[in-house]
Structure 1
Amino acid sequence: MNAEPGIPAQIDDYRILHRIGHGGQGAVFRAEDPHGTPVALKVIHDELSKDPDHRRRFLREVELARRVAPFCTARVLDVGVFGDRPYIVSEFVPGASLHHVVQKEGPRTGGGLERLAVATATALAAIHRAGIVHRDFKPSNVLMGPEGPVVIDFGISRALDHTATMSGSIGTPGYMAPEQIEGGEVTPAADVFAWAATMVFAATGRRAFPGDTVPQLINAILHREPVLTGLPSGLKPLIQQALNKNPALRPTAAELVKTLTGDEFHVETAPLPPAPVPPPPPSKQNRRPALLAGALAVVVAGGVLGWQLWPKGDGSATGDGTRAQTSLSPSPSAAPITFGQALGEPIEVQENDVRSIAFTELDGVPLSVSGGDDNTVRVVDLDKRTELYAMSGHEGWVGHIVTGLLDGAAIAVSASNDGSLRIWDLRKGTQMSNPMLGHQGNVKAVDLGTLNGEPIAVSGGQDGTVRVWNLHTGEQDGDPMTGTTGTVWAVAYAEVDGKPIAVSAGDEGVVRVWDLTTRRQIGEPLTGHTNGWIRSIAVGTLDGAPVAITGGEDKTARIWDLATRTSLGAPLTGHTSWIWSVDFGEIDGRQIAVTGSEDRTARVWDLATGTEIGRPLEGHTDRIYDVTLGTLAGKPIVLTGSRDETIRLWDLSPPLPG
């Protein structure tokens, strides 16, 4: 039964079965035509389809895609409008994307790589013969179907090109040709460039133009030579020419096919003249630079963090849904590693900003559960550094994740800009029950707890409310808590004298405490942050007293006694920009906080003294949206998630620096 918000069980002649994907353009569903034949049906997002003239142009452009000969492409079968939202029906191709396959199984080699190159070049040749430029050819738009590679989403980017000012530039950094980045004429030669970059990724598992941030990627594409190490010698000259920065010097897709299949076509093998190497770009303040034509200004949103339902120090988790403060003492046999040292290479699974990250254990295996701007919830085995699941369902950013137990099952609950909260079974990698709907607008934060013996989630959102949800029924429990002015960016569940409370904060820059039994605010708002918003809250105990820690736009983290609702001690200062996230734990008997900031560092604090422990954790190339504490091989660690699309792990093993 379909349970997607705003999507009925039937769209015109097509019966919706379930969601199979999503992206910046729209949501993709598996459906059936009137004869029971499976099809893929893509419904374009609301914001891309509100203007009637835009819709007409969209339908006209997609009709061109129906002319493409079905050589290694997913045929476009139908196009229409459902309400005000255009949709496209295409051939259903079972199989994972090339991006996913390479991440899971490693680079393509030998005959598999050769067949991939021929099939995708053939697909582009067919697309170009129909007078279409794909404009967004990349590994995630190549499906590894049972009958071979299949190219999808051709014709869509051109159809949506008029909406670029609303949805961001058409194309994907790392696979965009120089002329596409600079806003010049986009011809079939841009697809050839993207094809070559995709083949480099397929053959090596790396981008042809390395870079940790979008500006670095763009700088490399515009000014540097591609890194082709690891390419087979027979393929390398063709790839090199296809990546020429001058579109006039690239082969056509038809010429690619001729060369790959043995027909005569001369490939220039002389080395290209060196391009001037400019200095590295300065630290960026915006994720999408101005040179991306029509790019949408980034909406600032926080990766707020509430206290997780943590495993106990012995690796077990509380079974009744109540929290246990993290004990991060290492095992006696742990090998000494310098405090603050990065553990291994960054984890790259999210395909856009990492907004939130949580830690949990399942059968003794340490897991990270992350959410981000690619609208997915992803689970990674931290021992093996491998992705276990990429869970789809949300239609907007996943801004916050919390993990815990529900009737003994390991779960994650996610909050999204699509207005929903969702529960995920971490053992199966599947969604549990229907989305939890009720917030009017984006849902920014969620935490877990218990109320009257029932497991609950507490959430906050753009509508300025704090809401309670029964996790057994998936329904809202009682009326929302109102009175907040502005978006609620952070919530946390706690208990004071055995009574369940919620702590919330957001754009108004104050901290509010709520009695979850009466649904009334306790006392006056807590003030102390001197400027702007508060994006994050973590709760725990300090010297036996229940406390909350908040991080804000004033570059400080502050500690609050939840029993007396007063500020404790001086603020934690040291960050040079906004604090997006906080977490709370204990190492070697010392109670600590960890903060993540716009300044691209995470910092560890001794809460007894209010001083920073050691040096800042440095390595991310963009803001740190979220921090969370955990354990790995018996050692305390902190995980950080960033707008640079990576997750990093840091060793916090004692001895701690002074």
Structure 2
Amino acid sequence: MSPGAGNVTGEPRPLRDGDPRRIGGYRLTGVLGEGGQGVVYLSRISLDRPVAVKTLHARLADDAEARERFLRESEITRRVAAFCTARVLDAGVEDGRPYLVSEYVRGPSLDALVATDGPRTGGGLDRLAITTLTALQAIHRAGVVHRDLKPSNVLMGPEGPVVIDFGIARMLEHSTTASSGLVGTPPYMAPELLGGAPAGPASDVFAWAATLVYAATGHRAFPGTLAAVVLNAIMTREPDLGGVPGRLRPLLAACLAKDPAARPGVADLLTALTHERPLPAPPKAVGRRRLARAVAAAVAAAAIPAGYGLTDLFSAPAGIPFGSPVRAPVAGGQQWVLSVVTARLDGRPVVVSGGYDGTVAVADLATGAPVGAPLKGHRGPVWSVTASELDGRRVAVSGGLDGTVRVWDLATGAPVREPLTGHRGSVESVAAGDLGGRPVAVSGGLDTEVRAWDLASGAPLGRPFTGHADWVLAVAVGRLGGRPVVASGDHAGTILVSDLATGVRVAGPARGHRGPVESIAVGRLGDRPVIVSGGGDGDHTVRVWDLASAAPIGRPLAGHRSWALGLAVGELDDGRAVAVSGGYRDGAVRVWDLAAGRPLGGPLLGHRGLIETVAVGALDDRAVAVSGGDDGSIRVWSLGPPYPPD
């Protein structure tokens, strides 16, 4: 049994002689499971709040590599969205042995459930496929490759499947070299790992498919009792898909391809599962990138209303009703769009986007055609982009998983200078502003700090802003009484307002979201400067706050069924202040009338997959909203009249 955080396959066994009674201040009441690396104990913070306490075996306490891997699990698990794994609550070291405390997930592992109750069927199997795939997508979005996805690491909790055990997981930016030995569980290891290649998202897709085969049939895709037999089958034989329902068989067969480049991506799989669009069976030489383009093209074609012709869709937004697409969605070179911002370049409107592939791309806002080649330099996903002006040049500022802030000349595509470094971990959000006539950038990241940078020199402005106790997910720049300020939101749900020049707190902490503050923007409501924020896991609301006092304004704006991960503010052509938000998993872009405190029209639908980002801009002097997501497309929506009725 794998001793994953929160793991339990039945009732805990009583403590025995030799079991500790207390670890790190947590009183232990039973044993949930034991594996080769450690033991998981049951404890309770309170009568109604059980927790799982995982500790390394005493015999491994002096093994530096085992200790490092155990401690890294805490860091990695904290990065992953709470909805898909057991949330880490505490970690430490006692008597030389590290321990990890997580929420307790009551329920059997998928492995144990299939063994006792038989294979999953019908809607239950479909739900399992979609929820575990969504969890895998969130894991990859956090910059992590799991490396040991298997039935015993999927807990069938009361609120749905939970993926656990990140003990051998790796950050994607650290997965570019092969490990010194085989790491993983043989029946679920992708062939490239056996050949010494580093693990990547495609390896997790292989393991996911092998897990689904077991769930659907009760037998492994590559059977065998000896590890050598199983590994030989993985390398040389086709998977045993006997008993897999017909609707899933071709999809799982594609995921179990020997060549990782021939496996579909997670976004493509979710599209196929949730929209019943079969994935094309790629020939052996077809790579994943080409397959993704084919799927995206099919989705885009299906999404275009029959009444529109290409000429209509690519025309100016004048006369296109509010909420309608301005043009056909264009899937560019970025298969996963994480951030967008609008700007003007050489007199024409463009959209700048940050991608999961580490690129920054520029496209014509009106047509979607690329402007120049992708800007490359980040090592890992680009979480956030913004635009500014520097010495008469239009520049983009980007922040990413590699912990750097980069500045790009949009006209030439060249980096303006060396990357801006200082953050200790991922840069989650960047914003642009002005300080005494100097263009500046602001960044927030995993290290809980907010930093300000002089774009002309690349130098940091003063010391990092402090005050956040958890990683900073969102930053925005505004003005308060003539002085520039920074609004920032963190994973703990806290919003702060700080003076941009000094870093001194002006307002806050403000708390209202029941979960992380995933996005933040600064705008105006009449003459009043305001903050607009989007809630994450456990909340899903959009909220409005007074910039000067951080006091809430009105009621939370509710409607999303998932995180409000994308957020932007702007004005309609009639002067109304609006916020535009994107629901991460609900596929909806929503527009909110801030003065009225209500939605304006219905949700804007069309994305096939997760919505990562939204922006507000202008096209031919008409307001538009822009959205991007993991389907690789950037969509442009009219915010012009005729408006929906009140």
State the distance in 2 between where 1:517 and 1:374 align. 34
Give distance in 2, aligned partners of 1:619 and 1:525. Answer: 37
Number of the residue aligned with 1:504 = 488
Residue 590 (str. 1) matches residue 576 (str. 2)? yes
| Corresponding position of 1:415 | 399
SS at 1:479 equivalent: coil
Which of these residues, 180, 199, 212, is aligned with residue 163 of structure 1? 199
1:48, 1:167 within 8 Å by CA — same for their partners in 2? no
Is 1:578 the counterpart of 2:563? The answer is yes
1:311-331 superposed Cα distances (whole Å, 9 cap, x missing partner): xxxxxxxxxxxxxxxxxxxxx
Partner Cα separation in structure 2 for residue 633 and residue 453 of structure 1 = 29
Of residues 520, 530, 534 in structure 1, which corresponds to 2:517?
534
Structure 2 CA distance for partners of 1:347 and 1:222, relative to 1, 3 Å: closer
Deviations 1:99-145 (CA, angstroms, capped at 9, x unpaired): xxxxxxxxxxxxxxxxxxxxxxxxxxxxxxxxxxx98xxxxxxxxxx
Decide which of 539, 544, 548 is 1:559's aligned counterpart: 544
Counterpart position of 1:436 = 420
Q: In structure 1, what residue type is equivalent to 2:199?
A: T
Give, in whole Å, the separation in 1 of the partners of 2:318 and 2:511. Answer: 44
Q: Is structure 2 residue 471 aligned with structure 1 residue 487? A: yes
| CA deviation profile, 1:376-416 (whole Å, cap 9, x unmatched) | 10111123321122111000110000012111111100000
Amino acid at match of 1:402: T
Does residue 454 (structure 1) correspond to residue 438 (structure 2)? The answer is yes
Verify the 8 A CA contact 1:630 1:637 in the aligned structure 2: yes
Decide whether aligned partners of structure 1 residues 526 and 25 sit closer, same or farther in structure 2, where only a CA change above 3 A counts: closer
Query: What amino acid does structure 1 have at the position aligned with 2:181?
Result: D
Q: 2:623 is matched by which residue type in structure 1?
A: P
Q: Pick one of 332, 336, 343 that aligns with 1:353.
A: 336
Q: Partners of 1:403 and 1:464 in 2: how far apart? A: 23
The aligned amino acid for 1:381 is D
Question: Which stretch shows the higher mean deviation, 344-353 or 618-627?
Answer: 344-353
Choose which of 325, 337, 341 in structure 2 pairs with 1:342: 325
**Residue 515, structure 1, aligned to residue 551, structure 2:** no
Judged with a 3 Å threshold, the aligned counterparts in structure 2 of structure 1 residues 468 and 343 are, in CA distance, closer, same or farther, namely same
Q: Which residue of 2 aligns with 1:471?
A: 455
Q: Structure 1 residues 387, 494: closer, same or farther in 2, change over 3 A?
A: same
Question: Alpha-carbon deviation of 1:170?
Answer: 7.2
- Equivalent pair of 2:433/2:440 in contact (CA under 8 Å): yes
Report the Cα offset of residue 163 of structure 1: 3.3
CA distance in 2, matches of 1:381, 1:172: 38
Taking structure 1 as reference, are residues 343 and 166 closer, same or farther at Cα in structure 2, changes over 3 Å only?
A: closer
Amino acid at match of 1:516: L
* Aligned match of 1:617: 604
Partner SS for 1:522: strand
2:180 matched residue in structure 1: 52
Deviates more, 1:434-443 or 1:620-629: 620-629
2:629: which partner in 1?
A: 642
In the alignment, residue 185 of structure 1 is paired with which amino acid?
I
Aligned to 2:357: 374
Per the TM alignment, residue 515 of structure 1 is displaced from its structure 2 partner at its CA by 1.6
Paired residue secondary structure (1:215)? helix
The 5 Å alignment of 1:257-406 reads 335-388=318-371, 389-406=373-390
Contact 2:490 2:517 in 1 (8 A): yes
RMSD: 3.8
Question: Are the structure 2 counterparts of residues 428 and 221 from structure 1 closer, same or farther at C-alpha, using a change threshold of 3 Å?
Answer: same
Gaps of 5+ in 1: 1-23, 27-43, 56-133, 136-155, 174-180, 198-206, 228-238, 244-279, 281-332
Compared with structure 1, are the counterparts of its residues 586 and 182 closer, same or farther at alpha carbon in structure 2 (3 Å cutoff)? farther
| Structure 2 unaligned blocks of 5 or more | 1-142, 146-171, 184-189, 210-219, 223-232, 240-249, 255-261, 287-298, 300-315
Q: Kindly report which structure 2 residues correspond to 1:98-109, keeping only aligned pairs within 5 A, or say none.
A: none
Which residue in the other structure is 2:268 paired with? Answer: 213
DSSP 3-state at the match of 1:433 = coil
> How many Å apart are 1:242 and its aligned residue?
8.9
Alpha carbons of structure 1 residues 654 and 456: separation in structure 2 relative to 1, 3 Å: same
Whole-angstrom distance in 1 between the partners of 2:541 and 2:465: 27
Deviation at 1:214, TM superposition (A): 2.3
CA offsets per residue over residues 490-534 of structure 1, 9 Å max, x none? 0111111111211100101011011223322224401222x1100
SS state at 2:181 partner: helix
3-state secondary structure, aligned to 2:603: strand
Letter of the aligned partner of 1:513 in structure 2? V
8 Å contact kept, 1:47–1:166? no
Aligned to 2:75: none
Cα offset for 1:343? 2.7
1:163 corresponds to which letter in structure 2?
A
The CA distance in 2 between the partners of 1:395 and 1:358, in whole Å, is 21
For the 8 Å contact 1:354–1:372, the answer to whether it is kept is yes
* Higher RCO, 1 vs 2 (CA within 8 Å, ≥6 residues apart): 1
| Compared CA separation, residues 52 and 526, structure 1 to 2 (3 A) | same
Structure 1 residues 478 and 242 mapped into 2: Cα distance closer, same or farther (>3 Å)? Answer: closer
Looking at structure 2, the residues matched to 242 and 452 of structure 1 have their Cα atoms a distance apart, in angstroms, of 57
3-state DSSP class of the match of 2:447? coil
Evaluate the alpha carbon distance shift between residue 479 and residue 400 of structure 1 in structure 2; reply closer, same or farther with a 3 A threshold. Answer: same
Shift in Å, 1:185? 3.3
**Mapped partners of 1:471, 1:481: distance in 2:** 18
8 Å CA contact 1:419, 1:443 repeated in 2: yes
Aligned partner of residue 503 in structure 1, secondary structure: strand
The count of corresponding residues between Structure 1 and Structure 2 is 399
Task: Name the CA distance, whole Å, in 1 between partners of 2:413 and 2:603.
Answer: 35
- 2: CA distance, partners of 1:392 / 1:345: 27
Letter in 2 for 1:538: A
Query: 2:268 is aligned with what amino acid?
Result: T
TM-score by length of 2: 0.56
Structure 2 counterpart of 1:573, one-letter code: A
Deviation at 1:650, TM superposition (A): 1.1
CA distance in 2, matches of 1:391, 1:225: 31
SS in 2 for 1:213: helix
349-358 vs 582-591, which deviates more?
349-358
* 1:346–1:646 Cα contact (<8 Å) kept: yes
Q: Cα distance 1:478–1:339, how it changes in 2: closer, same or farther (>3 A)?
A: same
Write the distance in 1 (CA, Å) between the matches of 2:560 and 2:206: 36
Read off the aligned partner of 1:597 and give its amino acid letter. G
Question: Cα gap change, 1:51/1:611 in structure 2, threshold over 3 Å: closer, same or farther?
Answer: same
Q: How many angstroms apart in 2 are the aligned matches of 1:548 and 1:220?
A: 36
d(CA) in 2 for partners of 1:649, 1:347: 10
